[in-house]
Amino acid sequence: MKRLLALLFLLSLLTVSCGKKHDGIELQLWNFGDLPALIEWVRSRVDTFQTAHPGVRVVQSEKSWNMIRELLYANLTSGTGPDLMNVHANYAAEFGGAGFFTPINTFEDFEEVKSLFEPGLMESTRHGDNYYGLPCSAIAFTLVCNADLFDAEGIAPPRTWSQFREAARRLTKDTNGDGKTDQWGLVLLGSDRGSFSYRFAPFLFKAGQDILTDDLTKVAFNTPLGVEALRLFVDMHQVDHSITPGFLAYHHSEVNDLFCSNKVAMSIEGPWFRTIVDQKSPGKKFYTVPVPVPDHMIAQYDSLPTLQDMMMYSINAFTKHPQETWELMKSMRTLDADMDWITRDLGGIATTTGALYSPEAEHKEDLALYRHELRFARPWPPHPGIISIANNVITPWVQKAMVGELSPEEAMAGAAAEAQQILDGKR
């Protein structure tokens, strides 16, 4: 009987021990982004942090890139959500300005940490007087040109809008002689509204146009050159038929499939493109070049801005452990961590000065071009409503022109009027 009681007592102790919760601090980390290499990288950084901070447990969750705003709104507005998350830097205005992100400039060692990053990229995390994140990975939108198709045609990557249109026209072909086009000059990402506007905006910026005025009170994209940027795409689609006809339904996978199978010659992409192409077609060659400029602006080809996008790590304003979350954030953004964006294919560009200009960086394919483009690149304007304007206003109006429902002038005027309502607080 005594043996039985002793055994039961031991089993009860084991049960309590096995079911015991972590008695230290638990932090929730949400990772937006589905590249396998990036997910693994985040896990390795979490493991490194936990080894150095045995009293802290980090629970990593992978979240849908396409649901980022919806998930953030649903959780942050209810006072829940993760302690730390990686988000678009332009959310500094939308979420930071609304009080959902912690101003990281309130931490004692902020200035020391800030000095690690490229100043222009660090500024993209600022709204008003506060900084709401640390830069994670940067993006500059470029034009990628399929080397197989360009070399076979004997043409160079385009630098001007007229060369861009002509290259797309020449590279749109019936390759098997059955009377049907089976190769196109340009593919666009059209299924996700945000992705489409991110392909159109670089052409506005390369034309020297703004999205909003500097004081963020007026729409600035409905200009003669803004209309001409849209007309370029409309004519390529409706007149030349050099844009893939199904682009409005395309995700990254369709774009990659068409590019790797030599069905398309050009796409407007960022630094992730080489990674996804190599996954499907290892060793495939393509040229990465700046987005073309209007013909009369060719003298400014090397200095006109493209669209900059960037991810940043931000802290939930409602976290119960702000200092521990700050320590976790810093561990994700050390120079050592940032060097992985140079030495590994994680789909973005390093953001610390030390990594960007390291000896290893000199051997990174395309990085010299991306560094150059980032010097001049511009993010979306820091207005709380800018993402809604980009995704839900500019894109649908522009697409109406693309499919022939409206003229370029009508589409740009309609987009400008609706965007102005958002700026005026009427929507």
Q: Does residue 165 register a pLDDT over 80? A: yes
Gap between the Cα atoms of 154 and 150, Å rounded:
6
Largest CA distance in the chain: 97
What does the pLDDT look like over 319-359, one tens digit per residue? 999 999 999 999 999 999 999 999 988 889 999 999 999 99
- Rounded average pLDDT over 111-135: 96
Gap between the Cα atoms of 238 and 241, Å rounded:
6
What does the pLDDT look like over 226-260, one tens digit per residue? 999 999 999 999 999 999 998 888 888 899 999 99
pLDDT value of position 58? 97
Q: Does residue 1 register a pLDDT over 50? A: no
pLDDT value of position 10? 38
**Residues above pLDDT 70, as percent of the chain:** 93
Domains of the chain: 23-138+309-376 (3.40.190.10), 142-306+385-423 (3.40.190.10)
- Rounded average pLDDT over 114-120: 96
- Tallying the residues shown for the chain, one arrives at 427
pLDDT value of position 5? 38
- Rounded average pLDDT over 205-211: 97
What does the pLDDT look like over 125-159, one tens digit per residue? 999 999 999 999 999 999 999 999 999 999 999 99
Mean pLDDT of the chain: 92
pTM of the predicted model over 0.85: yes
Say which residue, 344 or 111, is predicted with more confidence: 111
**Residues above pLDDT 90, as percent of the chain:** 83
- Rounded average pLDDT over 38-62: 94
Say which residue, 175 or 347, is predicted with more confidence: 175
Q: Which residues of 170-191 are buried (b: 16+ CB within 10 A; e: fewer)?
A: bbbbeeeeeeeeebbbbbbbbb
pLDDT value of position 194? 58
16-20, 197-201, 286-290, 404-408: the lowest-pLDDT one:
16-20
pLDDT value of position 33? 76
Adjacent-strand bridge partners of 160: 293
pLDDT value of position 23? 59
Would you place residue 24 in the very low, low, confident or very high pLDDT band (cuts 50, 70, 90)? confident
Residue whose C-alpha is closest to residue 348's, from 30, 37, 31, 29 = 37
26-35, 143-152, 181-190, 281-290: the lowest-pLDDT one:
26-35
pLDDT value of position 145? 98
Cβ atoms within 10 A of the Cβ of 321, count?
Answer: 17
241 exposure class (CB count in 10 Å sphere: 0-12, 13-18, 19+): middle
Sheet holding 134-140, edge to edge: 56-63, 25-32, 84-88, 308-315, 134-140
377-to-19, 197, 320, 346 alpha-carbon distances in Å? 52, 16, 37, 21
Gap between the Cα atoms of 426 and 142, Å rounded:
35
